[in-house]
A and B are shown apart, each in its own frame.
Chain A
Amino acid sequence: MDLSSISPVLLIASVMVSATPILLAAIGEMVVEKSGVLNLGVEGMMITGAVVGFAVAVNADAPVPGFMAAALASALLALVFGVLTQLFLSNQVATGLGLTLFGLGLSALIGKPYEGMKSPTLPRLDLGPLSDLPVFGRMLFSHDAMVYLSLLLVLAVWAFLKFTRAGLILRAVGESHDAAHALGYKVVRVRLVAIAFGGACAGLGGAYLSLVRVPQWTEGMTAGAGWIALAIVVFASWRAGRVAIGAYLFGGVTVLQLNLQAAGAAVPVALLSASPYLITILVLVIISARGAHGAPASLGRPFHASA
């Protein structure tokens, strides 16, 4: 076994790229769940973002409009879910699954003319002296803007939930919508904003897949990334920092095992591939054994002001 051909620098750089789509989707979904809404449509919103982002980027010949359009499209799609579940009080689980099915079908339809095309991809950011640092320059400071944006987003979400009044209201709505309503907060409005934010994040994650990570459009290309994002939120027990850890862990294990194989190491591939899920189950067991699961108390429960 010769592991010297694995460059740790490139490995970590790859992990950062491969974790970014699920990180974006997961941090968005975490905010949604913090507001007490369970949106299982992450996969559908991601793939819609992937196809819309790709289509717009190809037509505009620039990636940035692609990302913006992806966020917008997925936020709109999420709002369809929002209107159905918050105003018409449809079942959140069923509607979320419906959203995934709808997104997959819609994206296949939109994407047909774009199969096999090449997209403009995001350039690596030049961070001046930082990018020139030995080792760390290549490892951490020569990525594209979205990698940093996703990390900044995690930081922003953490700060928002922990330190701001609006964040406190969002958490209150998620913990007890009746109490929040009694205090005069607009429960439905808060949730709709959170849902739209979650959609926009999932859209960015999807667009990152089709514009940077793969980069091309293929039908069904998210291949379950949205479900992994949902798992990460649970794994992270609804905390922003742990979402980042979870995303890097999930992304990291995949890249690590592929690299180990490429270098010729004898690794139990199936076991390594399954390990993030095993860890998630383990975390769930530990959480429930401790009795404090960290899930917002109103998660998935419908709210109506009359009740």
Chain B
Amino acid sequence: MYRRTLLAGAATLALTAGAAFAQDDPVKAGFIYVGPIGDGGWTYEHNKARLAVEEEFGDAVETVYQESVPEGADAERAITQMALSGADIIFTTSFGYMDPTIAVAEKFPDVKFEHATGYKRADNVSTYSARFYEGRAIQGHIAGSMTETNKIGYIASFPIPEVIRGINSAYLHAKRVNPDVEFSIVWAYTWFDPAKEADAARALIENGADVILQHTDSTAPQAAAQEAGNVITFGQASDMSEFAPLPRVSSIIDDWAPYYIDRVQAVMDGTWESQDVWHGIEEGMVGIGEISDAVPEDVKAEALELKAQLASGEYHPFTGPINRQDGSVWLEEGETATDETLLGMDFYVEGLTGDIPN
């Protein structure tokens, strides 16, 4: 797959490079994707935002992208190639591109880099992410209220802070409405592998889970849940509304478009500066997909209320008292978590079972 996208990418680059001479030097924005643009989830939304950038600026911008770029050493080559082809700003849209992005940024000081969900910055590297854990709180609330077996399955991808935050947030809010709730967490070690994701969903369902939360990118777990029946799921990264009203009862939607437009504009104006952005429901970077009719009215009302509180900043999903898994105190009564601890979160909260693999 990588080779195909490389070739396709190279062809696009060649075409756009040719076009660049014909025009009044438009800004060139490059995008590196971890999955295919048709994954129906994470990459699909990033690509939607890329199209929004094109729509917004018309001829003043050119975009190029490369899909299914493996995380790790290979990514460095792909990013380098994009920088060499004359991109002015490059969005690298997965956590695993962090070190490659920093490495390439050192070699191309004039190119601006935007790395999603990471924490390493430089003069020409910004980071941006969304507070998905706010959406996870709402999912946890609905999941805890609706589960009948009290077993909630969670398909996790890689043990990185963002994923752990999501698990903790969902668990705390499920526990709040349902003290008997238990989480089964499966680490899939992939962002995108429909067959494996479906297998993971089935394994969880066979082990008694009747709610499946996923932090992987494809819609395969939704299909597996639908097949099993009596299982509810939530759209991840994208609305996945084709599985509504059941099994998909709601979703977390990533909306990157305003941010991408903003940053490309900054490059055009020459005002681009390295920054660290972490937006949530309030700014609209995290959207909550329509809560379907399969959710009881009162639960839906509570979920919307929670959403309103999160949006207004009145409520923080990590508000003490919260203990770590080992029982030690993390947050005192009324204390809220700082962004710094959240960004480096590497522990489960009290009540979750199992260890985080390393």
Return the chain A residue nearest B354 by Cβ.
A264
Q: Is the CB of A18 within 8 A of B208?
A: no
Chain A residue numbers with a CB within 8 Å of B227 are 121, 215
Dominant SS among interface residues on chain A: helix
Complex contacts, A108 vs chain B, CB 8 Å: 36, 38
A306 within 8 Å of B (CB atoms): no
Q: B178-219 interface mask toward A, CB cutoff 8 Å, 1 = contact, 0 = none?
A: 000000111111101111101110111011110000000011
Whether A105 contacts B37 by the Cβ 8 Å rule is: no
* Chain B residues in 8 Å Cβ range of A111: 38
Q: Given A264-B184, A273-B189, A218–B38 Cβ distance below 8 Å?
A: yes
- Closest CB-CB distance, A106 to chain B, in whole Å? 10
Most chain A Cβ neighbours within 10 Å, of B1, B8, B35: B1
Size category of the binding interface on chain A: 35 or more
The reply on A161 being an interface residue by CB < 8 A is no
B47 CB to closest chain A CB, in angstroms?
A: 11
CB-CB nearest in chain A for B204: A262
CA distance A102 to B249 in the complex (A): 38
Nearest A residue (CB) for B41: A218
Most buried by B among A115, A215, A258: A258
Nearest Cβ on chain B to A57's Cβ, whole angstroms: 14
Is there contact, CB below 8 Å, between B199 and A220?
A: no
A179 in the interface (beta carbon within 8 A): no
Interface residue? A112 (CB, 8 A) = yes
Q: Check A270–B357 contact: CB distance below 8 A.
A: yes
A21 to B194: give the CA distance in the assembly, Å.
13
Which residues of B have CB within 8 Å of A268?
A: 357
Q: Is B40's CB under 8 angstroms from A270's CB?
A: no
Known pairs A5-B208, A218-B219, A220-B1; A262 contacts B184 (CB<8 A): yes
Known contacts A108-B38, A111-B38, A216-B223; A262 and B207 CB within 8 A of each other: yes
Residues of B within 8 Å of A116, CB to CB, are 40, 219, 242
What B residues does A259 contact at CB under 8 A? 203, 206-207
Task: Pull 25 A–B residue pairs with CB atoms less than 8 Å apart, ordered by A.
Answer: A14-B202, A97-B3, A105-B8, A112-B38, A116-B40, A116-B219, A216-B223, A218-B219, A219-B37, A220-B35, A221-B195, A221-B220, A254-B196, A258-B188, A258-B203, A259-B203, A259-B206, A261-B354, A262-B186, A262-B200, A264-B353, A266-B355, A268-B357, A269-B187, A269-B189
Interface residues of B (CB under 8 A from A): 1, 3-4, 7-8, 35-40, 68, 153, 184-190, 192-196, 198-200, 202-204, 206-209, 218-220, 223-224, 226-227, 242, 353-355, 357
